[in-house]
């Protein structure tokens, strides 16, 4: 299923991966109306595909811009539909269903913006955790996520992440 916004997210990611200029593509996202984005991302798979690609793209863009690594996830530098959001807003508000992280515990966050709440997936998918961790650890296997292949890509990312972690665990004898 081809969708303008998932294709745009994949294109932004592709340009970001090649260290190209994403300004005009990001401008398209900024001037998109929120209701139009919500209407076109009307399933969890479309939302996951779009937001994973956007997360990955903006993670790369901010690393290239030398954003402070300790604050890269909290800066509200991502502008979509006239709204400024952060990587944490995408991860915890949209992809992990509006959760608030307190230490290692996640609670439903009533303080997210209306935009984040509207964009949030309806059902939590535990595999998202592995995708986000793979992106931040630069251990990503796919150039972009595709709605038609999403389930297989999420499974593969999870398996790859777990197998890499099992290999790197030090043994204590």
| Residue predicted with more confidence, 149 or 142 | 149
The answer to whether residue 167 scores a pLDDT higher than 60 is no
At 149, list the tokens.
Answer: 């292949």
Strands 78-80 and 83-85, by their bridges, are antiparallel
Strand partners, 100: 107
Spatial distance between the Cα atoms of 79 and 84, rounded to a whole number of angstroms:
4
Mean local confidence (pLDDT), 146-163: 91
Strand partners, 80: 83
Spatial distance between the Cα atoms of 53 and 63, rounded to a whole number of angstroms:
15
| Residue predicted with more confidence, 132 or 137 | 132
The answer to whether residue 98 scores a pLDDT higher than 70 is no
Task: Give the pLDDT score at 162.
Answer: 87
**Angle, helices 127-136/150-168, rounded to nearest 10 degrees:** 60
3-state secondary structure of 8: helix
The answer to whether residue 56 scores a pLDDT higher than 90 is yes
Q: Give the lowest-confidence range in 71-85, 96-110, 120-134, 138-152.
A: 96-110
Task: Give the pLDDT score at 138.
Answer: 78
**pLDDT tens digits along 2-50:** 799 999 999 999 999 999 999 999 999 999 999 999 999 999 999 999 9
Q: What percent of the chain has a predicted confidence (pLDDT) above 90?
A: 57
Task: Give the pLDDT score at 102.
Answer: 66
Q: Which residues contact 48 (CB under 8 A, 6 or more apart)?
A: 95, 121, 125, 128, 145, 150, 154
Task: Give the pLDDT score at 170.
Answer: 53
Q: Closest by alpha carbon to 120, among 141, 138, 100, 149?
A: 100
With beta carbons less than 8 A apart as the criterion, state whether 73 and 91 touch: yes
């Amino acid at each position: 299923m081809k969708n303008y916004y998932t294709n745009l997210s994949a294109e932004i990611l592709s340009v970001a991966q090649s260290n190209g200029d994403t300004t005009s593509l990001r401008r398209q996202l900024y001037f998109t109306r929120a209701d139009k984005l919500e209407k076109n991302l009307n399933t969890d798979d479309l939302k996951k595909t779009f937001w994973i690609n956007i997360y990955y793209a903006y993670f790369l863009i901010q690393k290239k811009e030398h954003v402070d690594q300790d604050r890269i996830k909290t800066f509200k530098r991502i502008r979509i539909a006239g709204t400024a959001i952060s990587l944490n807003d995408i991860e915890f508000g949209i992809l992990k269903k509006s959760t608030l992280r307190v230490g290692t515990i996640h609670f439903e966050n009533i303080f997210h913006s209306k935009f984040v709440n509207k964009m949030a997936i309806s059902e939590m998918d535990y595999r998202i955790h592995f995708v986000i961790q793979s992106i931040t650890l630069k251990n990503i296997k796919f150039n972009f996520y595709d709605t038609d292949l999403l389930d297989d890509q999420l499974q593969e990312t999870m398996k790859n992440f777990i197998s890499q972690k099992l290999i790197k665990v030090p043994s204590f004898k």
